[in-house]
Structure 1
Amino acid sequence: MRAADIDKLVSVGRPTIAPDGAFAVFAASRPDLTANRAVGQLWRVDLPDGTPRRLTRGVSDTAPRLAPDGAAVAFLRADAKGKAQVFVVAAGGGEPVQATDARAGVGSFAWSPDGARLAYTARTPEQGRYGTVEGLEPIAEAPRRITGIRWHANGLGYLADRPAHVFLIDVPSVDAEPFYEPAPAVRPEGEDAPKKQLVAAEAVQLTSGAGSYGGVAFTADGSEILAAVDEIETDRRDLSSRVVALSADGGTEREVLARTALLSVDEIVVASDGTVALQASGVGEGRVDFIAPAVGLYLLEADGPRLLTDPDVLDLGEVGSHITAVGDDFLVQSRSRGTVSLVRVSRDGATASVFDGDVEVAGHAAAGERIVVAYATPDSFGELALVDRGALTDFGAPLRAQGLVLPGEREITGRDGYPIHGWVAVPAGEGPFPVILQIHGGPYASYGIHLFDETQVLVDAGYAVVYCNPRGSAGYGRAHGRSIRQAMGTVDFHDVIDFLEGVVAGDERLDGARVGVMGGSYGGYLTAWTIAHDHRFAGAIVERGFLDPVSFQGTSDIGSFFGDEYVGVDPVQMAAQSPMAVVDRVRTPTLVLHSELDYRCPLEQATRYYAALKRQGTEAEMLVFPGEDHELTRAGQPRHRVQRFDAVLQWWARHLPVTG
């Protein structure tokens, strides 16, 4: 796979299924170099064995949800101003009708049980900001008064001046006559010319105030809308959630889950019998316990939430993980050792695997006993399957035709006897090949078995790639994930080095005398830490790294709690885990990669680290991407992603040439 082949990385989003199980609808998207953005449409496939066909022809249509009667699909599409709005299209196809006209775009949305209305969340900008006053440039806006401990978020920007609120709107008819552009006409003095109407109904705002609402779900009878509330704290971070029920008639609010439950809620789902299920994690008495969180499936009952799953057995914390009600049971996604499986959970806590193996489930939907899943595999970035029948799509075929290397699974025993699980991907041939050690972000995340463009591009260029899930990673139990709490750069560092050495020693195709190391986010942290303590590497790439826990506290969007929990607050303890504190030991040539709008690991983390390397005479370069945030490698502009690959390959060609 070459860098430009990212345009063949088709991902499949969370599907939706007709109430009678007759068909499914899903969104497929991919990076497009010509458009320089992600593009994609909705697809429909008749079950059990129909041929998928495009249902819409938008630029980037996402998040489909079928109406309760299956006759129409609501989905998100950007309007003329680039803001995501809800559109509705007949389930059989046709011209979509715009349903919302939210100034800042729509976040989440849900159908009412009778299919007549849509509830949605949308940010409401403070008057005078974000284009609410025509001609008022951002640099001329009034200053922002910040009184809380949070003020911005990666990929969004400022928070407090645009809280997300809940709205309710009537669903437009997909058969109604369209609106037309008014023609110019001479009008009486003082009479304004009519403007083109965009939507059929006016939305009713149900909430107000400084808090932001998310994850809307109607109760079974449609009388209320459930939502989680996020309020910016004034003094110290509190990761717990409130869940409220809003009257669909007037927005009257009542609390159904208080912060005293000490749960951080990710999703709210209502079963057909009215049972409310939550995907949530405990935050502890201190309300900031997020390291290897105990994510579980809860039922919200009269006397409080009841946990159905064991977080040490099922790990529901994978990004995009969600709940589907199926009969009296629920479907959840559980990650383990680089895979994500689909599991059925009964209301007494019994579990049964539904879809597993060498897959990473990304989404699911069910009607009766018919279940569809979106998933990735080692040779496909995204497909849709019908459980017990098999794949319904073959989006991975073009990439397979380009040539892929399937990584080999390895488990190495570390210096202290601990098992370290990971993979090695090796070019065709006998070698010996130079080796690049890749380190994932998180830390409580993991490398998986899905097709990974980072690895494939390096292998295509002639490098063997070694990568693992050291202690601190997800998918190996909470104890594994919590083992580096206030001990970063200890056993995690040992694990990646021991895995590298073990794999190289067991494979003659790998040249242990020619090695490089690279990683992003926490991987950037551990790369910077590694090259300060181990000087075997010909070069290093430190990308979007967590490099100085001291300045991170006041600059990152998660600085109010992340560093405190992972490295502690004692200055001596923090320095003992800080790459900036040991940067003077680095002798390895280092490329620093970062993005201008990264608010997760802010740009200053990179610039200060780079400046320190240059000041002490260590060979270093820095590449900064304009307009990108922390998600550059996953969701950045396709041209920037290719340019980044070009820079990475050029760096390795100089410092770790394939030809020895």
Structure 2
Amino acid sequence: MPPSPFTEAAPGWLSLGVPAGAGALTGLALSADGMLVAATLVAPDPAADRDRATTWIRSTAASAAWTRLDTGCTELVFAPTGRRLLGLARAEEGQVCVVIDPDAGTAVRATPAMISGGAPVWHPQGNGFAWSCAALPDGPRPLHRTRRLGFDLDGRGWLGEDVRQVHVFRGYGGYGGFGPGDEKPTVIESPTDCRHLSWAPDGRTLHFVTERHDERFRDFGAQLFGVDLDSGHERQLTEPDLVAAASLPLPGGAVACVALTRAAGCGSVGAVYTVDPESGERVLRLTDPAACDIAHPLTSYAHGLAAVGGLLVTVQLARGAMPLLLLDPERPGRQRRMLDGPCEVHAYDAGPGGIAALVRSGATAEDVLFLPAEELPEPAAAVLPVPPATTWQTDGTPRLRPLDIAGIDAWLVTPEGPEPAPLVVWLHGGPGAQAGWTVPPDVQRLAEHGYAGLYLNPRGAAGRGEDFTAALLGGPGTIDLDDVAAALDAVVGLPGIDQDRVGVHGVSYGGYLAALLWSRTPLIKAAVVERAIVSWDFHRTGSDLGIPVTDGYWRGGPGPGQRPDPLTVPLHNSSPVLVLAGELDRRCPPAECRLLFGRLVEEGVPAEFAVLADCGHSVGAAPPSVRRARGAALLDWWTTQLPGTAATSAP
């Protein structure tokens, strides 16, 4: 196995390599004793036009190799004792829980098909598990009626008909399978969706997150609850002023929880709290939101909370980096970053035996790393340096260069080959998300065809503390647009960039900024506005999360019709625009994108409107054929509008 670039800067970590199968790693699980690592590899199946998951297992011993099991499972988790795995697999119209025996190479179905609301969690004794799910509908429903807002959700459709409650499957050892005569699960009845499950060590109390407050359709607030399974008594552990997510009971009785610092969600960052399950009082805040942004489901694809050696492990967002953060729950302020520097932890798991992490950087650098528990560093007083301005890269990959432009973190990807190269500015969504040291796939693909790419984290993005993220409150499309424009001005003057061939591509909120940037400057010669916010007035009630987002960012700011809006801002550009929508998108509906296309056509702009069939707001959840069609359409657009140099590698 070639040496890993990541372990050079991470003493004690062992490189396990990655499975040899084609596809993308999406998850990791580590056995309690630290002897086995399981990984989920997802790859498209062109014949079936769907993604298929395989399970890969290997020992953490240095000489071991990865072995493949065709389980079809995702969301893998090892039992608290032994080597069994629990995962989710497709079945009928929903999903089932599956118990995997790596030694026998078997995968046994353990539940009926349900609509899943998240990953299952083992009982602390390993003889059962809990799962957030809902029954499959009996048939089509000819009529939907509602008297409240928040009645649908992207990827879900109409809500209220499939409330995902906690199902507890008791006494299941993983060897029998599910059948009609099996014992029915215990269902914790809930009027609202439940998710993010965790068990207390005694196996009597189960924790989950749900929204029970009156304003739950107008903000992102969520509460952590605990339920005593013997009595059925519920206790609310956090108040509606937070956006609770992952939780983890601690040995002393307290419960740790990751939460956004304000119920509005917008402009807030993640922090780790501990609460007293008896009184419900918030005991400690272990991280400082002013300087430390903890990954949360609303801000990052990698997030969670685990424990090893009496310490908590979570993911931090840090100026484009995504290190692991060790926290001492008994000593606030004692913490240590691990796998720090120009890289991102995309998945991890921890337990008594150590920590496993999937780490990525640049365009292709990727490794699964393992840290044995005995190598665990001691948390020290918090000193969290800025990641160094360097990057790892392998031969043949596009060059990645970090930039600091007036306090804004940006990255410039330049292709191998002739200069000067056309430039495409790529803008991420959120806006409270973070781009960083892993090159976005759209930027990487264009770099392989001779294009430079610029991406950045303007004000309002995650990873720079609460003041930086909250700076956008009351001003979307203003100061962040200034940051994007300043970054573009700084980069177009660099050697190797052709300032006469500049484009912009934004997705979701990034599409909103892309439309505003295009309309602002004729420097942009072509644009892609994809699955985007284009009208705040439409978005507020036309989007599934429109009210929490619109009201969250515009509290006390300009009212309807006065916000920066691609439908009403002056057009200082007439270059071509591709408006790309998702047919099933409820976050930024195709009707909203169509409004922009209509304006452009009416004003004589050469515009095109394209709709991705069978696609919601997440392209990753669309069928492989849709993703291929999108990639081909984008490449055709840029090679037509901004002809580049010859491709440096195969498409």
Task: State which of 26, 50, 53 in structure 1 corresponds to 2:66.
Answer: 53
Distance 1:269 1:370, change over 3 A: same
Task: State which of 216, 237, 244 in structure 2 corresponds to 1:257.
Answer: 237
Deviates more, 1:165-174 or 1:424-433: 165-174
What is the distance in 2 between the residues matched to 1:577 and 1:8? Answer: 47
Q: Secondary structure at the residue paired with 1:604?
A: helix
Displacement, 1:199? 6.4
Aligned ranges 1:431-442 → 2 under 5 Å: 431-442=419-430
Distance 1:258 1:537, change over 3 A: closer
Amino acid corresponding to residue 406 of structure 1 in structure 2: R
- Does 2:71 align with 1:74? no
- Counterpart in the other structure of 1:625: 612
Q: Secondary structure at the residue paired with 1:499?
A: helix
Displacement, 1:267? 0.8
- Counterpart in the other structure of 1:182: none
- Counterpart in the other structure of 2:401: 408
Displacement, 1:243? 2.5
- Counterpart in the other structure of 1:229: 210
Displacement, 1:582? 1.8
Q: Secondary structure at the residue paired with 2:191?
A: coil
**Do the aligned partners of 1:520 and 1:545 also contact (CA within 8 Å) in 2?**
yes
- Does 2:358 align with 1:374? yes
- Does 2:260 align with 1:281? yes
**Do the aligned partners of 1:471 and 1:484 also contact (CA within 8 Å) in 2?**
yes
Displacement, 1:411? 1.9
Distance 1:440 1:448, change over 3 A: same
Distance 1:54 1:63, change over 3 A: farther
**Do the aligned partners of 2:505 and 2:511 also contact (CA within 8 Å) in 1?**
yes
Q: Secondary structure at the residue paired with 2:398?
A: coil
RMSD: 2.6
Displacement, 1:355? 2.0
- Counterpart in the other structure of 1:123: 134
Aligned ranges 1:188-587 → 2 under 5 Å: 198=179, 201-231=182-212, 233=214, 237-249=218-230, 252-259=232-239, 262-272=241-251, 274-283=253-262, 287-288=263-264, 290-301=265-276, 302-303=278-279, 304-305=281-282, 306-317=284-295, 318-347=300-329, 348-349=331-332, 350-368=334-352, 370-380=354-364, 382-387=366-371, 403-412=396-405, 418-506=406-494, 508-568=495-555, 574-582=561-569, 586-587=573-574
Distance 1:82 1:572, change over 3 A: closer
Task: State which of 608, 628, 632 in structure 2 corresponds to 1:646.
Answer: 632
Q: Secondary structure at the residue paired with 1:561?
A: helix
**Do the aligned partners of 1:55 and 1:93 also contact (CA within 8 Å) in 2?**
no
Q: Identity percentage over the alignment?
A: 24
**Do the aligned partners of 1:216 and 1:225 also contact (CA within 8 Å) in 2?**
yes
Distance 1:267 1:209, change over 3 A: closer
What is the distance in 2 between the residues matched to 1:545 and 1:319? Answer: 20
Greater radius of gyration (CA): 1
What is the distance in 1 between the residues matched to 2:435 and 2:89? Answer: 31
Q: Any idea what the Cα deviations from partners look like across 1:453-490, whole Å, max 9, x if unmatched? A: 21121112221112221222111222222222221222
Displacement, 1:326? 1.4
Displacement, 1:201? 2.6
**Do the aligned partners of 2:258 and 2:305 also contact (CA within 8 Å) in 1?**
yes
**Do the aligned partners of 2:226 and 2:237 also contact (CA within 8 Å) in 1?**
no
Displacement, 1:407? 1.4
**Do the aligned partners of 2:417 and 2:450 also contact (CA within 8 Å) in 1?**
no
- Counterpart in the other structure of 1:636: 622
- Counterpart in the other structure of 1:25: 38
Amino acid corresponding to residue 609 of structure 1 in structure 2: L
What is the distance in 2 between the residues matched to 1:593 and 1:280? Answer: 33
Deviates more, 1:324-333 or 1:567-576: 567-576
- Counterpart in the other structure of 1:109: 120
Q: Secondary structure at the residue paired with 1:409?
A: strand
**Do the aligned partners of 2:577 and 2:608 also contact (CA within 8 Å) in 1?**
yes
Displacement, 1:115? 1.1
Q: Secondary structure at the residue paired with 2:194?
A: strand
What is the distance in 2 between the residues matched to 1:235 and 1:356? Answer: 37
What is the distance in 1 between the residues matched to 2:210 and 2:563? Answer: 37
**Do the aligned partners of 2:33 and 2:353 also contact (CA within 8 Å) in 1?**
no
Displacement, 1:9? 7.4
Displacement, 1:220? 1.0
Q: Secondary structure at the residue paired with 1:13?
A: strand
Amino acid corresponding to residue 95 of structure 1 in structure 2: T
Q: Secondary structure at the residue paired with 1:51?
A: coil
Distance 1:405 1:31, change over 3 A: farther
Q: Secondary structure at the residue paired with 1:455?
A: helix
Q: Secondary structure at the residue paired with 2:294?
A: coil
What is the distance in 2 between the residues matched to 1:650 and 1:498? Answer: 28
Distance 1:576 1:246, change over 3 A: closer
Displacement, 1:323? 0.8
Distance 1:273 1:380, change over 3 A: farther
Residue-pair matches, total: 599
- Counterpart in the other structure of 1:190: none
Aligned ranges 1:8-23 → 2 under 5 Å: 10-23=23-36
Displacement, 1:233? 4.7
What is the distance in 2 between the residues matched to 1:570 and 1:483? Answer: 13
Q: Show structure 1 runs of 5+ residues with no match.
A: 1-6, 179-196, 390-399, 413-417
What is the distance in 2 between the residues matched to 1:34 and 1:442? Answer: 34
What is the distance in 2 between the residues matched to 1:549 and 1:572? Answer: 10
**Do the aligned partners of 1:556 and 1:599 also contact (CA within 8 Å) in 2?**
yes
Q: Any idea what the Cα deviations from partners look like across 1:330-352, whole Å, max 9, x if unmatched? A: 01111112110011100212101
**Do the aligned partners of 1:12 and 1:375 also contact (CA within 8 Å) in 2?**
no
Distance 1:268 1:21, change over 3 A: same
Displacement, 1:388? 7.5
Amino acid corresponding to residue 412 of structure 2 in structure 1: V
Distance 1:486 1:574, change over 3 A: farther
Q: Secondary structure at the residue paired with 2:552?
A: helix
What is the distance in 2 between the residues matched to 1:388 and 1:220? Answer: 23
Amino acid corresponding to residue 408 of structure 1 in structure 2: R
- Counterpart in the other structure of 1:146: 146
Displacement, 1:608? 0.9
TM-score (norm 2): 0.86
- Counterpart in the other structure of 1:655: 641
What is the distance in 2 between the residues matched to 1:46 and 1:511? Answer: 50
What is the distance in 2 between the residues matched to 1:409 and 1:235? Answer: 40
Deviates more, 1:432-441 or 1:375-384: 375-384
Q: Any idea what the Cα deviations from partners look like across 1:31-51, whole Å, max 9, x if unmatched? A: 444443222222212123243
Q: Secondary structure at the residue paired with 2:487?
A: helix
Distance 1:374 1:203, change over 3 A: farther
Q: Secondary structure at the residue paired with 2:323?
A: strand
